[in-house]
Structure 1
Amino acid sequence: MGLTKTYKDGTTPTVCIIGAGFSGMCAAIRLQTQLNLKTYTIFELEPELGGTWWSNTYPGCACDVQSIIYQFSFEPNYEWTKTFAGQQEIWEYQRRVAKKYNIYEKIRFSTEITRIEWYESLQQWVLDWISRLTGETGQMQADVVISGTGPLRLPQIPKQFDNFEGPKWHTSQWNHDFDLANKRIAVIGSGTSAIQVVPAIVDKVKKLEFYQRSATWVIPRDNPKITAFWKFLFKYVPFVHFIFFKLAYWNREATLRIFSTKWRDVFSRRFTMFVAWAHRYWQVRDNQLRKKLTPDYALGCRRVAVSSDYYPALSKKNVNVHTAAIVDVKGKTLTLNDGSKQEVDALVLATGFRVQDFVAEGFVIGKNKCDLSKAWGQAPKTYYGIATAEAPNMFFILGPNSVLGHNSVLFMIETACDYAVMAISHMMEKNLSSIQVTPKASKDFGDEVKEKMKGMVWSTKCTSWYKNEQDEITALWWSSCTHYWWRLRKFRPQHFSVVPRSKSAAVHM
């Protein structure tokens, strides 16, 4: 059966989409193309769409997933210039897609949603907003809210660097006005952003002080250019692009074995560890430096990085790699717990994001005046990361336990958006004013996640943004993308409670 596209009276729900990154864009496109629904508005905090790919403009910023699968399945891009696309190219792809589907006209830019509250009497959400440009405030009533804010949006900026008196910035807020030439630069952090930044700036600076809390597992990345010949084949020869898309997708799916601690997957893990070891041994000839760059935790417990220029960059003469902890910051001087001090001109904070802060306190007030942040605490309770029992008619894209460690998150985004569309269609078909996942369905999913994570390397001993303070994995989906799609390929009304639409309900066009 097809999707129901209107209520019986011909109306459609009013939908508010928060965020205009890949998640918000996909939600808008799916509402348009699958339901022909145009009664939606997108609120975007920034002056442009793009989300992560608008904000992160640091040197070397690129995707660590192959370009051919880091795109919407329904909107293939035949013009990628490299196997792993850079930030600018990904953002330009987003803009092209947005223009094609006329999304720009539906976005309220530089507008922040400050509070969302569910009103049972209205069977609607009331959203408070403020314009960053004018300070104007207002409210919007919406039947449905789709949150596409994404997990990598709130920079993690340690308080200890507040005392630094020189220029400092997070990688997601890069200061392009600062001239790096002939400067002493400190890079704090050794995650994916740092691994991309360091090679991009090392030859520009006079001295680079690199501060590493713990080493990262790094595997080589081959990033050849995509020639005009291949672009022609992808665009004009039937099935060529589709075949390469599927090959890349299934190759990524197969890497899930690397993150399993089960005996049957030992060979895959050991082989990948050997590749990482050989890569490090070949590129880092200095024994002392190599020891500093050798991880002391299981491969995959933290995000595995892909780079072929990171180790050579750290081996350069103008780079110092520090593993001692920073204990004091005064003026422009950093003091470490080994007694050493370094004076630098600027700080680059590659310190990651506050991924565990899924919802701010007081931001979402759900059913029965429930503050979603307090209800979740450090362990969010959701249904496949998409819905929660405390918030009727609210859908999360890339919500808790739906981010990936092995494949393209755009697949997960599309799957979650399709499920939200099916739920909205079900509302219209059954003439419902609200729909919410049952506490049991949410609990069953949470219990399954906890059990399945016991067999995954993410649960082993290390510090990562995948975990909460109780060492529970709250960010990642535990299985394959295909498994996630299979679970959500059909809408399951038995997992939801509903409220019928009142005859006196307000009509929204």
Structure 2
Amino acid sequence: MERDQREPPPHTSSNGYFVPDVTYLDPGNRRMRIVTIGAGFSGIMYAYRFQNELENVEHVIYEKNGDIGGTWLENRYPNCAFPSHSYVYNFALNPYWSELYSSSDSIWKYLDRVCRVWDLRKYMQFNCRVIEATWNEGLGKWMLKVEQTYSDESTCVLEDECDVLIQATGMLNNPKLPEIQGLGSFKGRVVHTAQWPDEFNAAEWTGKKIVIVGAGSSSLQATPGMQPYAKELHVFIRSKSWLASVQPNYGVIQGSQEEQESFARDHAKLVSQARVYEAGANRVWKALFKDSPEQEAFRSRFQQIMRDELEDETLVKGLVPDFAVGCRRTSPGRAFMQALKKPNVFPHFTALAKVRETSVIGADGSEIADIDAIVLATGFDTTYLPRFNVVGMNGISLRAKFTPNPDSYLGIGVPVLIYFIVTFGPTFPVLTGSVTASISAVADYAIQMIKKIQAEDLLSVCPRQDITDQFNEHCQTMLHGTVWEDHCNSWYKRPSDGRITAVWPGSALHFQEVVRHPRWEDFHIKSRNKLNSDINADIAPYMNVDNLDLAFYDYDRFPLRKEAAPTPSQAREQTLRPRPEAVERNGGP
């Protein structure tokens, strides 16, 4: 049984120096408790990877919702859909997608199947919201407060602790509620696309007069989803966006039973298809520089697509941007553009300024009366400020650390936060290639760190501030000249000064290479023993194990070959002959 690490270790000197009772490179040195916050796409990946690749760990996942899924559980608005093959784990390719662009419900069902096949829910505690995490330097542990909600809506606060804390809460699940004057006085229904109630369905929309606020990704999908049923649909469009004219299901007929069974039988064929989509996602980096030929080609193509699709010059003027493609998120928008041309859809190219009991008023002064419902397609809070109090070394909070600049170490760590790994942190590669492959790379990184902590019985591992500063200086310099410097409203950058906060300074493939192996020289590392070296660890326990190789060190792979002995004259000549370097140094024999 492992010794309680709060107890004084054996072999302790009078002045407090001790030799830890550990075995070199043995995970049994340290039983570790790992807490992951969030059971969405990232949290599920950690559950699977830790289950299969770590020893002597206890893993707990706290999830604020009543089930797995995160974004895919919460976003249930009409037509919510995403590229199927972009949201699969490399350990669980899915041959049974019925569409190339799957609904959020289909993606949730895939995640549910992954959890059931590998029995991952056993690590998860639902309806548990982490409300505080504080680093205890004396114990070398995170002290947590967790609010648990019961079926009768009552709550209690539990206390927990862990060695390693992993934030896997994602970026797109904290709804951003706009500050619109009088919104609370509205008599009808107000719904955010990220908090869509099941009962707010087509039967509720039929014959109703509905306002949609926003023209981002969720509005692009919800608008055509609601259009066939609503009496009138008024869409307030404050910002322009580049929209791709994509046929339903990408114009590809896929999903027949025969084809699905073919993928199920032929794994190599399934892998080959997955690689096609991943390679496509990883090709975008060159096009994200403003003056590149690839960007010019993108812009010319998108302009033509939108003009051909919209047809109406008023719509073209209100929707087609004058900034670079990619400055804002680019989404498939063919269905949205078609919906705007329907007789019951009324686009308003202005912000929604005021709401009254039954009416709304635009920033241009236009008023729409007798409104039944308002749909807020206004996106998410992407400021990176934590939703709960996180306090690290020396009592410094993450909120203070991210003020004014949310500067991270490689998008996955933060100085003063020990044993803390974040997924989708500032500068994470959210749009320069495959996101799922990058999440997997972070899982690899976390596993390497946890194994090092166990093997060397470390007290703390924390990113250095100077290295973090250098990295963020590199980010801002490297991103100079990219599309995000253009004049657009985008969650990729800070509205106040345009500082780019959500983009990795390179492709996703570049990110994956950078984090492939931790750069331990970039960290402040402390051992539980002040000698702080591998000399702490003892190899002696191996001596008592009969089935281990006790002469595992390397020998020369090539045996000494038998050669004829030199004659006495040859031996004398070899002895007297000067060495070549001596000849060169002395100018001759």
Q: Could you tell me the TM-score, scaled by structure 1's length?
A: 0.93
Aligned to 1:149: 169
User: Secondary structure in 1 aligned to 2:284?
Assistant: helix
User: Secondary structure in 2 aligned to 1:309?
Assistant: helix
State the shift of 1:501 in Å: 2.6
Aligned to 1:349: 376
Please list, as runs of the form range in 1=range in 2, the aligned pairs for 1:6-405 lying within 5 A after superposition: 7=26, 9-36=28-55, 38-63=57-82, 66-133=83-150, 134-160=154-180, 161-178=183-200, 179-222=204-247, 223=249, 224=252, 225-261=254-290, 263=291, 265-266=292-293, 268-343=294-369, 344-360=371-387, 363-405=389-431
Amino acid at match of 1:162: G
State the shift of 1:38 in Å: 4.5
State the shift of 1:214 in Å: 1.2
Please list, as runs of the form range in 1=range in 2, the aligned pairs for 1:449-468 lying within 5 A after superposition: 449-468=475-494
CA distance in 2: counterparts of 1:281 and 1:25, whole angstroms: 42
Amino acid at match of 2:134: E
CA distance in 2: counterparts of 1:36 and 1:25, whole angstroms: 18
Retained in 2: the 8 A contact 1:398–1:412?
no
Amino acid at match of 2:286: R
What does the per-residue CA deviation read over 1:72-91, in whole Å, with 9 as the maximum and x for residues that have no partner? 11111111111122101100
CA distance in 2: counterparts of 1:342 and 1:234, whole angstroms: 52
Amino acid at match of 1:315: K
CA distance in 2: counterparts of 1:366 and 1:331, whole angstroms: 46
**Given the superposition, is the C-alpha separation of residues 200 and 50 from structure 1 closer, same or farther in structure 2, using an over 3 Å criterion?**
same
CA distance in 1: counterparts of 2:209 and 2:348, whole angstroms: 15
Retained in 2: the 8 A contact 1:370–1:390?
yes
What does the per-residue CA deviation read over 1:90-119, in whole Å, with 9 as the maximum and x for residues that have no partner? 001111111222221111100110100001
Retained in 2: the 8 A contact 1:57–1:172?
yes
CA distance in 1: counterparts of 2:319 and 2:402, whole angstroms: 37
Aligned to 1:494: 521
**Given the superposition, is the C-alpha separation of residues 131 and 238 from structure 1 closer, same or farther in structure 2, using an over 3 Å criterion?**
closer
Retained in 2: the 8 A contact 1:456–1:478?
no
User: Secondary structure in 2 aligned to 1:415?
Assistant: helix
What does the per-residue CA deviation read over 1:54-89, in whole Å, with 9 as the maximum and x for residues that have no partner? 0000010011xx322321111111111111221011
Please list, as runs of the form range in 1=range in 2, the aligned pairs for 1:397-476 lying within 5 A after superposition: 397-468=423-494, 469-476=496-503
**Given the superposition, is the C-alpha separation of residues 32 and 204 from structure 1 closer, same or farther in structure 2, using an over 3 Å criterion?**
same
CA distance in 2: counterparts of 1:186 and 1:333, whole angstroms: 10
Amino acid at match of 2:397: D
Retained in 2: the 8 A contact 1:5–1:36?
no
Q: Which structure has the greater CA radius of gyration? A: 2
State the shift of 1:404 in Å: 1.6
Gaps of 5+ in 2: 1-22, 531-589
Retained in 1: the 8 A contact 2:28–2:56?
no
CA distance in 2: counterparts of 1:5 and 1:470, whole angstroms: 51
User: Secondary structure in 1 aligned to 2:210?
Assistant: strand
CA distance in 1: counterparts of 2:333 and 2:432, whole angstroms: 16
Retained in 1: the 8 A contact 2:295–2:324?
no
Retained in 1: the 8 A contact 2:239–2:489?
no
User: Secondary structure in 1 aligned to 2:101?
Assistant: coil
Aligned to 1:506: none
User: Secondary structure in 2 aligned to 1:39?
Assistant: strand
CA distance in 1: counterparts of 2:272 and 2:368, whole angstroms: 52
Amino acid at match of 1:472: R
CA distance in 1: counterparts of 2:301 and 2:217, whole angstroms: 18
**Given the superposition, is the C-alpha separation of residues 364 and 238 from structure 1 closer, same or farther in structure 2, using an over 3 Å criterion?**
closer
CA distance in 1: counterparts of 2:255 and 2:56, whole angstroms: 37
State the shift of 1:325 in Å: 2.7
What does the per-residue CA deviation read over 1:135-172, in whole Å, with 9 as the maximum and x for residues that have no partner? 12111010000000011121111121233232101100
Retained in 1: the 8 A contact 2:232–2:344?
yes
State the shift of 1:281 in Å: 1.9
Retained in 1: the 8 A contact 2:464–2:523?
yes
Retained in 1: the 8 A contact 2:49–2:443?
yes
**Given the superposition, is the C-alpha separation of residues 5 and 462 from structure 1 closer, same or farther in structure 2, using an over 3 Å criterion?**
farther
**Given the superposition, is the C-alpha separation of residues 69 and 177 from structure 1 closer, same or farther in structure 2, using an over 3 Å criterion?**
closer
Aligned to 2:509: 482
Range moving further from structure 2, 107-116 or 472-481 = 472-481
State the shift of 1:220 in Å: 2.1
User: Secondary structure in 2 aligned to 1:388?
Assistant: coil
What does the per-residue CA deviation read over 1:280-320, in whole Å, with 9 as the maximum and x for residues that have no partner? 22222222222212123222110001132111111000011
What does the per-residue CA deviation read over 1:377-431, in whole Å, with 9 as the maximum and x for residues that have no partner? 1422211111111100010011111042243321121111111111111111222
Retained in 2: the 8 A contact 1:6–1:12?
no
CA distance in 2: counterparts of 1:451 and 1:15, whole angstroms: 36
What fraction of aligned residue pairs are identical, expressed as a percent?
28
State the shift of 1:460 in Å: 1.5
What does the per-residue CA deviation read over 1:176-195, in whole Å, with 9 as the maximum and x for residues that have no partner? 32301100010000000000
Q: How many residues align?
A: 494
Q: Could you tell me the TM-score, scaled by structure 2's length?
A: 0.81
Amino acid at match of 1:443: D
User: Secondary structure in 1 aligned to 2:282?
Assistant: helix
State the shift of 1:7 in Å: 4.8
Amino acid at match of 1:180: W
What does the per-residue CA deviation read over 1:233-258, in whole Å, with 9 as the maximum and x for residues that have no partner? 32222521222222211122112222
Amino acid at match of 1:202: Q
Retained in 2: the 8 A contact 1:466–1:473?
yes
Runs of 4+ aligned structure 1 residues displaced above 6 Å come to none
Amino acid at match of 1:294: V
RMSD (CA atoms): 1.9
Retained in 2: the 8 A contact 1:70–1:408?
no
CA distance in 1: counterparts of 2:41 and 2:267, whole angstroms: 27
Range moving further from structure 2, 232-241 or 66-75 = 232-241
What does the per-residue CA deviation read over 1:254-273, in whole Å, with 9 as the maximum and x for residues that have no partner? 12222112x4x32x222222
